[in-house]
Structure 1
Amino acid sequence: MTVLRCRGLRKVFGGQPILDRLDLTVAEHQVVALIGASGSGKSTLLRCVNLLEELDDGVIELDGEEISAPGVDPDRVRRRIGLVFQSYNLFPHLSVLDNVTLAPRQVHRRPRAEAEAQARELLDRVGLGAKAGAYPDRLSGGQQQRVAIVRALANRPRLLLLDEVTSALDPELVGEVLTMIRDLKSEGMTMVLATHEMTFARDVADQVCFLDGGRVLESGPPERLFGDPVQDRTRRFLARLRDAGRL
């Protein structure tokens, strides 16, 4: 089953196309990694899928429903899509538990007891059960990012979008977040992640998409795309990463 389908997406900022007739398909339980140089359109694509940016052209479908159509309620769509940013965006005046349960209680109208029980279960699963009463400034960066992911999961999303979720972390904290994403993959979560962690993309993704100039220039299984890319532009991008010791 296809969960996400993007057809001919176009987004222009200041006369410059950031997405240029981009196509993307994501199947159920699939993990798709978006790679490419800064400015290639990875973050803009995720923001458009979550309807935080308005398209200039193209169609986005979620489970066959055109969510980019005029008149679609973006809040209704976002209840089915989780988006985690590279900055944690936790509310500093709320505890971990209140950060995680805010949307389930206020948006989905779940009873507090039900929302808190689910939140505690999720926090326990990622080793943060003891931090439920803590405030964000008492957590490490890796812990805050795991809370941000748990907050997205608490809404029971159909699709999880992850935008460079390790880029703001110290190197020693990256591993704990990547372990959490591996666990989500093993549980069948459908995910699209923009990442500069090439080794992680190669290990966890079912499909890797190389974005260049606002398009998916090349895509394929990680072993094929990293091992034998077809496009010269992809080969040059990966060669630079190897020279820098990042692949």
Structure 2
Amino acid sequence: MSQSEDAATPREEVLRLDNVWKAFGDTEVLRGVDLTVASHQVVALIGASGSGKSTLLRTINLLERVDDGQVFLRGTDISRPQTRPDVIRARIGMVFQQFNLFPHLTVLDNVTLASRRVFGVSRSTAEQKARQLLDQVGLADRAGAYPDRLSGGQQQRVAIVRAIATDPELLLLDEITSALDPELVGEVLELVRTLAARGTTIVMATHEMAFARDVANHVVFLDSGVIAEQGPPAQLFGAPRETRTRDFLSRFTGLAG
């Protein structure tokens, strides 16, 4: 069942983008993007390859600096030049298309590294929490394994656990199923579904349209670096207002109204 947007219950603003522009050379990838994400909201970014979804996530996490506009995290402008990216990234969890696990570390060490090194949590406390999280995703018995001994789906679940182990204020997911074999996609999406149900604030770029429709409570359609349309999934998938949205969704059977 799709989560609905509840306008009657105001939620704290976690993230806001105001007129964000980003270019690489002469190519404008983001062109005046405005977006607000509230606490416990799940926002799905959809659009064709090259529409700006991944770049948008990377600007939020300060992996790319914006050329113009502002990015606010809980009311603080984090796009200012003097902002320390490492301090901001400690507050945001990000999972990439590729798993990016440290190959020389065990699953347990991968998951606990940030807690111990960045936040100064004791090894025993960090490992206790990590084992609880791994148990919740069915990987308790793989804590001592190295990444190359895991399937792609298992590695991506470990990457997600690593991202949430520090209780981030915001979780960014960048096409996290695109590198997986089709039979492994379901187990990763089920974990995201569980996180969403628990109230995790998530912004995810995805090409899984049915998943975006069923799990997100706000969908943003990016087209050539511009938000062409956004709204609750029932409206955007069921009765899109813009021709560009209808044309994009027409590629996916049964999604466009």
Q: Which amino acid letter does the alignment assign opposite residue 106 of structure 2?
A: S
**Percent sequence identity over aligned pairs:** 64
CA distance in 1, matches of 2:208, 2:139: 24
Please tell me whether the aligned partners of residues 23 and 215 of structure 1 are also in contact (alpha carbons under 8 angstroms): no
Deviations 1:56-114 (A, max 9, x none): 00100011111111211111101110010010000111000000011111111111111
**1:183 corresponds to 2:199:** no
Q: What is the match of residue 36 of structure 2?
A: 25
Query: For residues 69 and 136 of structure 2, what CA distance do their matches in structure 1 show?
Result: 39
Pairing partner for 2:160 from 149, 169, 172: 149
> Could you tell me the TM-score, scaled by structure 1's length?
0.97
Which structure 1 residue ranges, 4+ long, deviate > 3 Å from structure 2?
none
Q: Which structure 2 residues correspond to residues 50-129 of structure 1 after superposition, within 5 A?
A: 50-129=61-140
Unaligned regions of 5+ residues in structure 2, if any? 1-11
Structure 2 Cα separation of the partners of residues 204 and 197 of structure 1: 11
1:207 match: 218
- The whole-number CA distance in structure 1 between the counterparts of 2:16 and 2:177 is 26
1:16 aligns with 2:23: no
Deviation, 1:246, is 8.2
Under a length normalisation based on structure 2, what TM-score does the superposition of the two structures give? 0.94
Q: Is the 8 A contact 2:95 2:163 kept in 1?
A: yes
The 8 Å contact of residues 106 and 146 in structure 2, kept in 1 or not, is answered as yes
Corresponding residue of 1:228: 239
For 1:148, give the aligned amino acid: A
How far apart, CA to CA, are the structure 1 residues paired with 2:119 and 2:22? Answer: 31
Q: Provide the C-alpha distance between the structure 2 equivalents of 1:215 and 1:26, rounded to a whole number of angstroms.
A: 17
After superposition, the C-alpha distances for 1:167-222 in whole angstroms (9 at most, x for unaligned) are: 11111111100110010011110000000000000000000000011111100111
Gaps of 5+ in 1: none
Q: Secondary structure at the match of 1:108?
A: coil
Q: Distance in 2 between matches of 1:198 and 1:107?
A: 36
Select 1:5's aligned residue among 5, 16, 19: 16
Aligned residue pairs, count: 245
CA distance in 1, matches of 2:77, 2:134: 33
Report which stretch shifted further, 186-195 or 233-242: 233-242
CA distance in 2, matches of 1:38, 1:223: 23
Contact 2:237–2:255 (CA under 8 A) maintained in structure 1: no
Rounded Cα–Cα distance in structure 2 between residues aligned with 1:199 and 1:168 = 18
Q: What amino acid maps onto 2:209 in structure 1?
A: M
Aligned to 1:193: 204
Measured in 2, the distance between the counterparts of 1:61 and 1:246 equals 33
From 43, 47, 57, the counterpart of 1:36: 47
Report the counterpart of residue 8 of structure 2 in structure 1: none
Counterpart CA distance in 1 for 2:208 and 2:248 is: 14
SS of 2:250 mapped into structure 1: helix
